[in-house]
A and B are shown apart, each in its own frame.
Chain A
């Protein structure tokens, strides 16, 4: 295995010893780029995604959606011959109670009965064996319209408010020598997993339901289907098929499409496949929450943070979905990786009559850290100070406390990532060299909490199982492989903790009939939290089997199943009502340096290069980690420059890949990734979370590089039209 030359892989703290020495030290896999478990099927086309599956007697399903943002349905007319069709309406859902997507709040109906709250809201479902006949069916729906709420800042409905308080902001602000204020805005972002949302629901003879689908969280779908179909645990089965990307877009949304397919399957008695086309996927499914974030910051003249007053507003869309939790992570990260004794963050997630926004890689933290880091750049400007120096002075160090009062341990690496990135990118030389040219360079410093926020992991009570069999060792988790390398990474952790070769460990396909609920595949938690429980399973198994191999043990005593549940580290405390304490067991740390070039004619900003330094505890599989960092960085650059969701009358008007442009090879800057390791005592082999952090930093780094060109951009996406407006206004 070649290690790519582009990787500057630094070990500045040596990896910890393995808990069980392998019989053959060379066979340890953690830290090595072992072959991906899913590599061969994916490069040969053999991997089966949901749209590749067919079942006997299968019908195709379709969703009929609202074409207004707010109002009531007055009539529904079928303008087609309904013979051969299965038709499901809200009235077909068993009880009033059941017609809600079970998540946080019972507010989002699977099918609207009367009231419409957003464009593309599902109203009825059709199924037919012939896709062309199905798609030709016309349904006329008439409405009585109400005035929709489109502006989050004017919304009368607050889904969730969060307050974080540290010290006394008002008094401290009075003592500040300099005060800098600013408002920053971020737009919607569409996930654009290349595989759209899709499921197949198969009705079972016993009245149960099996759903195969492209999804991140089998047990979220399981929970939603149980409530919808009023079925007990064992009658609902959810199987994750190979999943063509998620990024949060297949966290909560699959519950909706799975529910729809299940309703059609139950009524028709046939398997029903629903796979959205790209337009439907873009118009109807969740997006990243748009944000408006205000900062008022007091400093000393020499650049020390005295007080930070932060207001966070997220546009939740029409229903609650996961907005309160997105807001929570957003608010906790809002003050950035900085030390300040007086912080007040007030956050609100509000309703608008637009399709619900939901989980997207980073989960609120990219929005708030975008604002923080662009604001820091403006502070540096106001003070006439080097932006690196400003961050260096204020960066969290071990012993400092965050806005929630969490004391940083030795695994706090803000300064190291900052200094490494500045040196590696030759920041200061380029900063001087680019001045006055069409090029700019800017940076961002950020962090990201690993795992569920606060007491989230305690409530989840995740379970993980490991099984020794005659043919090898099986990992039983509900954590989904969605491209990030879950299967590979978990097999490495189990193999090394158990002291067996990597090749002998196989994670099973997530299937609620087979695997315990190890929680959702979200929040940068799979490696650190699920992997941590798995490591304990392997240690326990090793204790039970002694010096035997798992196979030898299984041959003598039969299969051995070890199941463990999440145990809260005793030294982690969190207060849910006060929002104080240890928000996350540990944090990853990152610094991005972006270099851009402005086209003086078209105002297009071309990103040339991003230097990315991430400290992630321990790279279980450096190549996979590098893939996460590179992919997340590109997605962040897209959010900053290319990806513009145009909302017209509350619906996405550019719901095509032709018009909503994610970065191609030609739009993506060259990426220079450096991985630092400073182990956390809470993760397996020292690992922290890695999946989300890469998208926190690129947008502010890019916008700060544009600022270096003399353009006061504070909102993203910085599409050419927006950059031109700023340029013309500043003349």
Chain B
């Protein structure tokens, strides 16, 4: 099946009902997306599909045919959000971080505080109490 993965064309053979998360981690060796609950509650597996944040543990692989998938690896390491999360304490244990950053990417540039709070409500973090994440997202736009 063909789709675009992190900006490049990809062709991957995998069962259509396999979770996108497993395809990314096991077939594509992109282990940056994490599994925290397997039921779409924690958001650690968040990736972008055609620009929209989705929990990849609930998406069957068949649904991304011809779509554009972006994972944390697709940000390349120099994205302002990545820099801000690293510098401002947005990442502690780091397990929610890739999904959190992808959800923050989907907020677009310069989101307001309530936008950030609502936009990240589907991503659980147990380490930070979210304040440092707010500071990182706001800091990335500063």
User: Which residues of A approach B to under 8 Å, CB–CB?
Assistant: 1-2, 4, 6, 35-36, 38-49, 51-52, 191-196, 242-247, 277-278, 482-485, 623-624, 626-627, 630-635, 656-658, 662, 664-666, 668, 670-671, 673
Contacts and interface: CB of A to CB of B under 8 A. Distances in A.
Contacts of A658: 39, 41
B93 interface: yes
B95 to A, nearest CB: 3
A566 to B, nearest CB: 27
B48 interface: no
A398 to B, nearest CB: 32
A49 B95 contact: yes
Nearest to B31: A52
Interface in B64-93: 71-73, 75, 77, 81-83, 85-93
A195 B85 contact: no
B129 interface: yes
B94 to A, nearest CB: 3
Given A39-B87, A195-B93, A657-B39, A630 B121 contact: no
Nearest to A247: B126
Contacts of B59: none
B132 interface: yes
Nearest to B25: A52
B33 A626 contact: no
B35 A51 contact: yes
B32 A46 contact: yes
Contacts of B96: 194, 244
A484 B89 CA distance: 10
A658 B86 CA distance: 29
Interface residues of B, number: 55
B132 A627 contact: yes
Contacts of B88: 2, 4, 623
Given A244-B95, A627-B89, A6 B131 contact: yes
Given A1-B87, A39-B86, A44-B32, A635 B41 contact: no
B63 interface: no
Contacts of A2: 87-88, 139
A245 B124 CA distance: 12
Contacts of A633: 129
Contacts of A632: 129
B93 A627 contact: no
B2 interface: no
B127 interface: yes
Contacts, number: 173
B129 A42 contact: no
A192 B126 contact: yes
B19 interface: no
A245 B87 contact: no
A631 B128 CA distance: 4
Contacts of B97: 42-43
B130 A668 contact: yes
Contacts of B128: 627, 630-631, 634
A140 to B, nearest CB: 26
Nearest to A52: B31
Nearest to A47: B94
Contacts of B135: 4, 6
Contact of B91 (A42, A626, A666): A42
Given A6-B131, A194-B42, A668-B129, A45 B93 contact: no
B30 interface: yes
Given A45-B32, A194-B42, A662-B124, A623 B95 contact: no
Given A194-B93, A484-B92, A49 B82 contact: no
B35 A657 contact: no
B34 to A, nearest CB: 7
Given A45-B33, A277-B38, A626-B132, 7 more contacts: A35-B86, A45-B30, A52-B25, A278-B36, A624-B89, A631-B92, A668-B130
A40 B89 CA distance: 12
Contacts of B126: 191-194, 245, 247, 631, 635, 662
B54 interface: no
Given A39-B87, A194-B95, A483-B92, A45 B129 contact: no
B82 A245 contact: no
B5 interface: no
A627 B39 contact: no
Interface string B112-142: 0000111011111111111110010001000
A523 B65 CA distance: 50
Interface in B18-44: 25, 30-39, 41-42, 44
A214 to B, nearest CB: 9
Nearest to A610: B129
A672 to B, nearest CB: 9
A196 B126 CA distance: 12
Counting chain A CB atoms within 10 Å of each CB, the highest count among B88, B94, B116, B127 belongs to B94
B41 A657 contact: yes
Contacts of A624: 89
B31 A483 contact: no
Contacts of A35: 86-87
A43 B131 contact: no
Contacts of B125: 194
Contact of A244 (B25, B31, B94): B94
B53 interface: no
A548 B130 CA distance: 44
